[in-house]
Structure 1
Amino acid sequence: MWAICVAAAVSQITNPLLLAIAMAAVVFVVMSRRTDAPWARAFRWYIYLGLFVILTRVILYILVGAKTGDVVLVRLPTITMPSWAAGIQLLGPISLDGLVVAACEGLRLAAMFVCFGAANALANPRRLLRLLPSALRDVGTAVVVAVSVVPSLVLGVGRVTRAQQLRGDLRGGIHRIRRVGLPLMEETLERSLALAAAMDSRGYGALREQSRTSRLITGAVTFLGLIGVCVGLFGLLDQGDIPVKLSLGLLIGGLGLGVAGVALAGRRSPVTIYRPDPWGIPEALTLECGLWTVGLVYAALDAHPEAAAMPTSPLGVPGVPLLALAGFLVAALPGVFTPDPMSAGREVVGT
């Protein structure tokens, strides 16, 4: 939740100074509190992914972006598109303003990737799976597998590469890809079969028998809750003929029915927890820091809306509101007051 809160805060800004401060706070927490687990060691790849996103956004601006701005750096030849793609302009004059805007938008996406990587590096996905309701256990398993793919691949490539180096095989290029790819696929298949056997022995996928009436009631409650949430959100966002009070009531009622549907569906899945994860003061303070970050940043942007973006007309240095600065400094506090990580010990669940 801490990482989600920081990501929600950075999603509203393209101010490069605020984004840099936010990423520095996230990196500080990760460097201070990550373990030596495989998913924690893959954090640097999310930083590389963020750099790739920034570069891709700049390249897209050069190729097909809207060419606006007064300060022209390079005048590339313009490629005329056919009539069915009249709104697209390939190449053309590259302005400094457009490059800065594209880089700032890419930096915002990179900051969100860093927040996602921080959540993956700090939280054990298998332990988080145990906190989900029983009805969402299958969905949570799929999410955990998807999130664990990149760290597992990084760890597998490292093991195969070290084994080949110990054998004296230092060749690169296509030969190295072939020599790494085949053992990696073999190891991945073996790990998948072992995981499937372990999940089967622990009762994953086991269901209790339920009557047809109970299944119909569960489906109807969940469906009505989904309809209520959709209609309520539409009414709140549309601000048209549907009264706000009615929209809010539908949203709250839909959420309540959704929670009830999840609870009813969870009765069909027998799940027991051998070692429940405690929720203590460090976890609560970590979550509170994330909530304070969102609140302070949103308050700063409400008081100073011009600080959310990079000034481009004319191009200048963006401002840094004190409330937003304080919010991202609060986001770095979990790297100070939370317990030191241990390889086989207690981990911060609140991240």
Structure 2
Amino acid sequence: MKACARGSVVAERERAVPRAAGVVRPTHPHAEGGRRRSRPARAGEPAPARLRSTLHPGAWWLWAIGLGTAATRTTNPLLLGLLIAASGYVVATHRSPTPWARSYTAFVKLALAVLLVRVLFAVALGSPIPGTHTLFTLPEIPLPQWAQGIRLGGRVTAEAVVFAAYDGLKLATLLICVGAANALASPTRLLKSLPGALYETGVAVVVALTFAPHLIADVQRLRAARRLRGRPDRGVRGLLQIGLPVLEGALERSVALAAAMESRGYGRTAEVPARVRRTTAALTLGGLLGVCAGTYGLLTAEGGTYGLPVLLAGVVAALAGLRLGGRRSPRTRYRPDPWGPRAWLVTGSGAAVAALLTFASVRDPQALRPGVVPLVAPALPLWPAAAVLLALLPAFVPREHA
């Protein structure tokens, strides 16, 4: 027993000597200097997922904003349909099995509801668009003298319905583009990428954007559970019995989120000099006013000369204000998302679509905004349609891996 004890003590001393002397033992027979060497990848074997760079979430939002900007420049249903198809195809190729990725279907349903409501309003309340093709006539309700210009019922023309459908389809396309960005970009990663000055605002926006996906996931989970138990999950009764558990889960999630934010020091700011605070406020406010004035100048014919310089000066001032405002946020980023070539490609495709359709709306407005009086079938302009197809470039970008 004494020999065994003495041997264990000697062995322990021998193991402790290299540590005290600063010598590191190899942890693997094939390792050198105490560091494990990675095995080289075989031919045809994919690289480890952790070595692949992930796509910056801001690139998806900039791509979607570019598509939404392009949608505001046209009412041609063929071009709007191409924008919807392009965004849907990119979502289908890059959507991940996450709760926020399921919200795309909800945004599509919301877009269809907006389109239907816009047409119903034109039918019920009338439209200022004159027309000669009468579809049907509704009973008209007389209104008082002070409500002139508004009517309830009356003659419904094909021109008014088509004009309302074009207008509603443009708004529906905007909603679908926002849904595509919400389905592709991770809200938590997007929050990490925001500047320090916008961190608190970004938290509020991200929480608001993630509310709908989690709510949809809770409803789907509860409906599946009720179907397995043989209980109704549709109709007013099913909705009432599902609504209470969904509300309870939302409240529990809110309490957990508040506790997590409190434990991570949310809302704490660093002390900065008063001079820096005043300079930050002046630059940010002046920059935002410059952006508004420059945008207004670009949208009007009289401000075409000063619009672009004022816009650029406002952007520079706002960015400088955000840079200075970031000093109040004493936080660091753990493994920040890199902005690589793939992010530039995704962002550039959306910006190219927006720029080309904006140019086309100035060069050939009749093709991008087809008239309804007289009522004619919309034509597909070739080069604006080819410009919309640039939105499909992100579909050919390799899918990211976590």
Taking structure 2 as the reference length, the TM-score comes to 0.78
Q: Which moved more, 1:92-101 or 1:257-266?
A: 257-266
Q: Which moved more, 1:27-36 or 1:200-209?
A: 200-209
Residue 315 of structure 1 pairs with residue 375 of structure 2: yes
Task: Name the SS for the 2:328 alignment partner.
Answer: coil
Residue 257 of structure 1 pairs with residue 356 of structure 2: no
Distance in 1 separating the partners of 2:172 and 2:79 = 13
Match of 1:15 in 2: 76
Q: State the Cα distance separating 1:223 from its structure 2 match.
A: 3.5
Q: State the Cα distance separating 1:230 from its structure 2 match.
A: 4.8
Residue 283 of structure 1 pairs with residue 347 of structure 2: no
1:95-138, Cα deviation, whole Å (9 max, x unpaired): 11111111111111111111110000111111111111100011
Would you say the 8 A contact 1:35–1:341 is kept in 2? no
Residue 340 of structure 1 pairs with residue 402 of structure 2: no
**Could you tell me which of 183, 193, 212 is aligned with 2:274?**
212
Match of 1:176 in 2: 238
Taking structure 1 as the reference length, the TM-score comes to 0.89
**Could you tell me which of 151, 157, 161 is aligned with 1:99?**
161
Q: State the Cα distance separating 1:251 from its structure 2 match.
A: 4.4
What is the RMSD of the two structures over their aligned residues, measured on CA atoms? 2.3
Distance in 1 separating the partners of 2:400 and 2:308 = 43
Residue 297 of structure 1 pairs with residue 357 of structure 2: yes
Task: Name the SS for the 1:326 alignment partner.
Answer: helix
Match of 1:141 in 2: 203
Task: After TM superposition, list the pairs within 5 Å mapping 1:125-204 onto structure 2.
Answer: 125-170=187-232, 172-204=234-266
CA pair 34-136 structure 1, distance change in 2 beyond 3 A: same
**Could you tell me which of 250, 266, 273 is aligned with 2:326?**
266
Task: Name the SS for the 1:75 alignment partner.
Answer: strand
Q: State the Cα distance separating 1:216 from its structure 2 match.
A: 3.0
Match of 2:98 in 1: 37
Distance in 1 separating the partners of 2:65 and 2:159 = 31
Corresponding letter in the other structure for 1:89: R
Task: Name the SS for the 2:193 alignment partner.
Answer: coil
Would you say the 8 A contact 1:304–1:321 is kept in 2? no
1:317-337, Cα deviation, whole Å (9 max, x unpaired): 2121221111111111211x2
CA pair 34-229 structure 1, distance change in 2 beyond 3 A: closer
Q: Identity rate of aligned residues, in percent?
A: 43
1:270-320, Cα deviation, whole Å (9 max, x unpaired): 121111112222211111111221222223333321111233233222121
Would you say the 8 A contact 2:76–2:367 is kept in 1? yes
CA pair 235-309 structure 1, distance change in 2 beyond 3 A: closer
CA pair 219-298 structure 1, distance change in 2 beyond 3 A: closer
Would you say the 8 A contact 2:290–2:313 is kept in 1? yes
Would you say the 8 A contact 2:73–2:357 is kept in 1? no
CA pair 111-220 structure 1, distance change in 2 beyond 3 A: closer
Residue 325 of structure 1 pairs with residue 371 of structure 2: no
Q: State the Cα distance separating 1:3 from its structure 2 match.
A: 0.7
CA pair 152-65 structure 1, distance change in 2 beyond 3 A: same
Distance in 1 separating the partners of 2:229 and 2:85 = 40
Structure 2 unaligned regions, length at least 5: 1-61
Q: State the Cα distance separating 1:235 from its structure 2 match.
A: 6.0
Would you say the 8 A contact 1:297–1:323 is kept in 2? no
Q: State the Cα distance separating 1:231 from its structure 2 match.
A: 5.2
Q: State the Cα distance separating 1:239 from its structure 2 match.
A: 6.9
Q: State the Cα distance separating 1:177 from its structure 2 match.
A: 2.4
Structure 1 unaligned regions, length at least 5: 346-351
Q: State the Cα distance separating 1:196 from its structure 2 match.
A: 1.6
Q: State the Cα distance separating 1:87 from its structure 2 match.
A: 1.6
